[in-house]
A and B are shown apart, each in its own frame.
Chain A
Amino acid sequence: MRRPPWVALALVLVAVMAASLMLGATHVAPGAVWDALVGQGSDDVARTIVRSIRLPRVVLAMLVGAALGVSGSVLQGTLRNGLAEPYLLGVSGGAAVGAVLAVAGGVSAPSLIALAAFGGALLAVAGVLTLARAAGGASDTRVLLMAGVVMGAFANAAIMVVMAAGSPDVARNALWWMMGSVAAAGWRDVVLLAISLGAVGAALLHRARWLDVLALGEDAAESLGVDAGRAGWRFFVLASLLAATTVAVAGLVGFVGLMVPHLARSLSAARARPTMIVSALAGGALVVAADLVARTVRAPAELPLGAVTALLGVPFFLWRLRVER
Chain B
Amino acid sequence: MSAFLFFRFRILTPRRARAAAAACLLLAACTTSNESPVATPALVDDYGVSIGPATAAQRIISLNPTTTEILFALGAGERVIGRSRWDQWPVEARTVPEVGDAIRPSVERILAARPDLVLLYASGDNRAAAATLSAAGVAVVALRIDRLADFDRAVRTLGHVTGLEAAADAAVDSVERSLARVREAMRAVPRPRVFVHVWDNPLMAIGGGSYLSELIDIAGGRNVYAERPEPSPQVSFEDLVRREPQVILAGPAEAARLRTDARWADVRAVREGRVLAYDTMLVARPSMRLGEAARALALLLHPGTVLP
B residues in contact with A170, CB < 8 Å: 32, 124
B132 touches A26 (CB 8 A): no
A residues in contact with B112, CB < 8 Å: 25-26, 45, 49
B79 to chain A, nearest CB (A): 19
Q: Which of A72-114 contact B (CB under 8 A)?
A: 103, 106-110
* B3 beta carbon closer than 8 Å to chain A: yes
A167 touches B30 (CB 8 A): yes
Give the docked Cα–Cα distance between A174 and B240 (Å): 29
A56 to chain B, nearest CB (A): 10
Q: 1/0 contact trace for A103-141 toward B, CB 8 Å?
A: 100111110000000000000000000000000000000
Q: 1/0 contact trace for B26-45 toward A, CB 8 Å?
A: 10001111110000000000
Give the docked Cα–Cα distance between A25 and B104 (Å): 13
Considering the complex, give the chain A residue whose CB is closest to the CB of B136: A48
Give the docked Cα–Cα distance between A31 and B232 (Å): 50
Considering the complex, give the chain A residue whose CB is closest to the CB of B112: A26
**Residue among A106, A110, A173 with the most chain B CB within 10 A?**
A173
A25 touches B124 (CB 8 A): no
* A171 beta carbon closer than 8 Å to chain B: yes
Known: A52-B136, A167-B31. A301 touches B111 (CB 8 A): no
Give the docked Cα–Cα distance between A169 and B137 (Å): 28
Considering the complex, give the chain B residue whose CB is closest to the CB of A113: B124
Residue total for A at the interface (Cβ-Cβ under 8 A): 37
How many A-B contacts are there with CB distance less than 8 Å?
Answer: 114
Q: 1/0 contact trace for A177-197 toward B, CB 8 Å?
A: 000000110100000000000
A25 touches B106 (CB 8 A): yes
A317 to chain B, nearest CB (A): 28
Give the docked Cα–Cα distance between A301 and B137 (Å): 23
B108 touches A301 (CB 8 A): no
* B252 beta carbon closer than 8 Å to chain A: no
A168 touches B6 (CB 8 A): yes
Considering the complex, give the chain A residue whose CB is closest to the CB of B135: A52
B235 to chain A, nearest CB (A): 13
* B149 beta carbon closer than 8 Å to chain A: no
Give the docked Cα–Cα distance between A295 and B26 (Å): 26
Stretch in B95-103, B178-186, B283-291, B300-308 with 4+ CB within 8 Å of A: B95-103
Q: 1/0 contact trace for B209-249 toward A, CB 8 Å?
A: 00000000000000000000010101000000000000000
* B51 beta carbon closer than 8 Å to chain A: no
Give the docked Cα–Cα distance between A293 and B5 (Å): 25
A166 touches B2 (CB 8 A): yes
A214 to chain B, nearest CB (A): 41
Give the docked Cα–Cα distance between A53 and B125 (Å): 17
* A233 beta carbon closer than 8 Å to chain B: no
Give the docked Cα–Cα distance between A301 and B6 (Å): 15
A302 touches B31 (CB 8 A): no
Which of A49, A52, A171 touches B3 (beta carbons < 8 Å)?
A: A171
A residues in contact with B132, CB < 8 Å: 52-53, 184, 186
Give the docked Cα–Cα distance between A54 and B106 (Å): 12
A168 touches B128 (CB 8 A): no
B30 touches A168 (CB 8 A): yes
B34 touches A183 (CB 8 A): no
Give the docked Cα–Cα distance between A302 and B107 (Å): 11
A residues in contact with B127, CB < 8 Å: 108-110
* B187 beta carbon closer than 8 Å to chain A: no
B residues in contact with A26, CB < 8 Å: 108-109, 111-112
Q: Which of A296-318 contact B (CB under 8 A)?
A: 299-302
B residues in contact with A174, CB < 8 Å: 3
A169 touches B100 (CB 8 A): no
A residues in contact with B103, CB < 8 Å: 172
List the 7 closest A-B pairs by CB distance, nearest first.
A108-B124, A300-B100, A300-B106, A184-B128, A26-B112, A169-B30, A171-B3
B residues adjacent to A (C-beta < 8 A): 1-3, 5-7, 26, 30-35, 99-101, 103-109, 111-112, 114, 123-125, 127-129, 131-132, 135-137, 202, 230, 232, 234
Instruction: A163-B3, A183-B104 given; name 5 further pairs at CB < 8 Å.
Output: A26-B109, A106-B35, A164-B1, A168-B26, A169-B31
